[in-house]
């Protein structure tokens, strides 16, 4: 059985290859180095995509790969620049001293920008959200329309465009991925028969679970938790259901409407409140 060929495939000239050739490295060695770097970044992207649960994982991995390649390019070009200056006999001490002072001045005046960029890099690496995800950041809720190293752009439900600096994102809720536990609270007048309320809530949940539009999307069918609050004027019954995060609002509305209809059929007027 012939052995597999593990040698790097032929590559077109890239910036790494050209830089190494310019530095006097042989063509074969330059090809091997460029192939190794591209292979490493590609493998890292595949591993990141394999660990992610988002359908946009491949796109995010490609973005991260391009970002790392850009950082690597800047590092290599910067080092090569100083090596060339040293080879030409130029004294680097005054230049490095000036660069240090200028860099410190700019860095001190742009701390927030540096913080935003570093936070954006970490957010991309960790894949906390992607374009199209619904986020809650503090008191701001919106769908991610664009993201960069410095800022995340959200579109609110009313059409407002929110620009959130990445450095200010301390805690966020991603309401797109995974599952959601939806609670529907049904408030009825206090004199209402408890068994009647719970039975109406149960029938409403069963109708939603049997509806072809929702039946295949329920992770866990509606469950009547019972009376969770009572005072002199009202009783509050609660129904819980576990659904895909992207369908929480639609199923919440369907469950609320169906239970209210079942109560009205029994002659009971119901109001409601819901939370996730």
Higher pLDDT, 186 or 90: 186
Give residue 3's pLDDT band: very low, low, confident or very high (50, 70, 90).
very low
Report the pLDDT averaged over residues 179-191.
Answer: 88
C-beta atoms surrounding 139 within 10 Å = 5
Higher pLDDT, 130 or 103: 130
Which region among 45-59, 95-109, 124-138 has the lowest average model confidence (pLDDT)? Answer: 45-59
C-beta atoms surrounding 20 within 10 Å = 21
Which residue segments constitute the domains of the chain, with CATH numbers given? Answer: 15-109 (no CATH), 129-174 (2.30.30.60), 179-275 (3.30.70.100)
Rounded CA-CA distance 78/271 in Å is 66
C-beta atoms surrounding 6 within 10 Å = 5
Higher pLDDT, 10 or 183: 183
74 in Cβ contact with 16 (< 8 Å): no
Q: Is the pLDDT of residue 240 over 80?
A: yes
100: Cβ–Cβ under 8 A, 6 or more apart, which residues? none
205 in Cβ contact with 239 (< 8 Å): yes
Report the pLDDT averaged over residues 149-176.
Answer: 89
| Entry pTM | 0.54
Give residue 6's pLDDT band: very low, low, confident or very high (50, 70, 90).
very low
Torsion of CA 50, 169, 162, 158, to 10 degrees: 80
Q: What is the CA radius of gyration of the chain?
A: 29
Mean pLDDT, the chain, rounded, equals 76
DSSP conformation class of 275: E
Residue 163's pLDDT is what?
A: 93
Give residue 181's pLDDT band: very low, low, confident or very high (50, 70, 90).
confident
Give residue 1's pLDDT band: very low, low, confident or very high (50, 70, 90).
very low
* Cα angle for residues 177, 175, 209 (degrees, 5° grid): 80
């Amino acid at each position: 059985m012939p052995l597999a060929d593990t040698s790097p495939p032929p590559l077109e000239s890239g910036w790494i290859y050209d830089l190494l050739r310019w530095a006097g490295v042989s063509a074969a060695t330059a090809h091997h180095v460029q192939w190794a770097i591209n292979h490493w970044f590609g493998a890292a992207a595949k591993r990141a995509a394999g660990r992610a649960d988002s359908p946009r994982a491949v796109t995010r991995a490609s973005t991260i790969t391009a970002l790392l390649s850009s950082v690597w390019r800047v590092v290599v070009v910067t080092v090569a620049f100083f090596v060339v200056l040293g080879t030409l006999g130029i004294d680097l001490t005054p230049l490095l001293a000036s660069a240090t002072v200028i860099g410190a001045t700019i860095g001190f005046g742009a701390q927030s920008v540096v913080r935003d960029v570093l936070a954006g890099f970490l957010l991309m690496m960790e894949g906390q959200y992607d374009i199209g995800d619904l986020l809650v950041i503090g008191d701001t809720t919106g769908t991610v329309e664009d993201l960069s190293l410095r800022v995340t752009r959200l579109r609110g439900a009313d059409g407002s465009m929110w620009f959130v600096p990445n450095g200010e994102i301390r805690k966020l809720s991603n309401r797109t991925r995974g599952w959601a536990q939806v609670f529907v609270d049904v408030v009825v007048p206090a004199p209402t028969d408890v068994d009647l309320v719970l039975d109406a809530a149960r029938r409403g949940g069963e109708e939603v679970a049997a509806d072809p539009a929702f039946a295949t999307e329920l992770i866990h069918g509606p469950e009547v938790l019972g009376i969770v609050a009572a005072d002199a004027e009202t009783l509050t019954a609660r129904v819980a259901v576990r659904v895909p995060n992207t369908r929480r609002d639609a199923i919440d509305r369907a469950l609320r409407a169906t239970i209210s209809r079942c109560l009205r059929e029994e002659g009971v007027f119901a109001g409601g409140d819901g939370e996730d």
